[in-house]
A and B are shown apart, each in its own frame.
Chain A
Amino acid sequence: DQQVKQNSPSLSVQEGRISILNCDYTNSMFDYFLWYKKYPAEGPTFLISISSIKDKNEDGRFTVFLNKSAKHLSLHIVPSQPGDSAVYFCAASGRVGANNLFFGTGTRLTVIP
């Protein structure tokens, strides 16, 4: 039973445009959300996070938005660069401590030069 869902397995975007990756969750007890980025043959790396007390967190070109009522979060990348091409995983946690981190299935982003 997937408690964190990424319904788009892939996304293609032109360089310089905005990339929007979406994630939905089912467990209303989740209170901390993260995005990880994964290149081929490498482990995922932490990108950005947001706590449930916020609805937006920004770090450079990356912004995560959280809509608690809709149980939805999204990652915006502006402007998109070819080096952003990777698989992006959404993850959620119900409490402090990563032993209960639930991951989505990932979205493969391709940024076309």
Chain B
Amino acid sequence: SQTIHQWPATLVQPVGSPLSLECTVEGTSNPNLYWYRQAAGRGLQLLFYSVGIGQISSEVPQNLSASRPQDRQFILSSKKLLLSDSGFYLCAWSVGGGANVLTFGAGSRLTVL
């Protein structure tokens, strides 16, 4: 069966520090991979998605970047965090080739102070 792992679960970082959130998927090949963020009082906002290694699409301009160095690995990064980057970050995957049902990881709560 497929599983998705996301870490760290919680993170408290000072403004201006770097960020790296990691996500891996097991039990499937060539998945579509996604990073979502939920800010306080907001819905889940799609940040990045990837349909293959090295292929990243950004949905909103921001202080963050994403990379997919391996088929089942997706990384969310920032060189310098802003206060507004605080939120709950969720990695998700779906079947490659087009599918609407996402399977989410447990999430990473980031607090920028």
Footprint of B on A, CB under 8 Å? 2, 4, 6, 32, 34, 36, 41-46, 49, 89, 91, 93, 96-106
Footprint of A on B, CB under 8 Å? 4, 6, 9, 32, 34, 36, 41-46, 49, 51, 57, 59, 90, 92, 94, 98-107
Partner of B100 from the list A41, A97, A105 (CB cut-off 8 Å) is A97
Contact B43 A106 (CB under 8 A): yes
Contact A98 B101 (CB under 8 A): yes
Partner of B107 from the list A42, A91, A106 (CB cut-off 8 Å) is A42
In the bound assembly, the distance between CA atoms of A105 and B39 in angstroms comes to 10
Of the listed residues A36, A96, A101, the one surrounded by the most CB atoms of chain B closer than 10 A to its CB is A101
Contact A4 B43 (CB under 8 A): yes
Q: Which residue of B lies closest to A32 (CB)?
A: B100
Q: How far is the CB of A52 from chain B (nearest CB, A)?
A: 12
Chain B residues with CB under 8 A of A42: 106-107
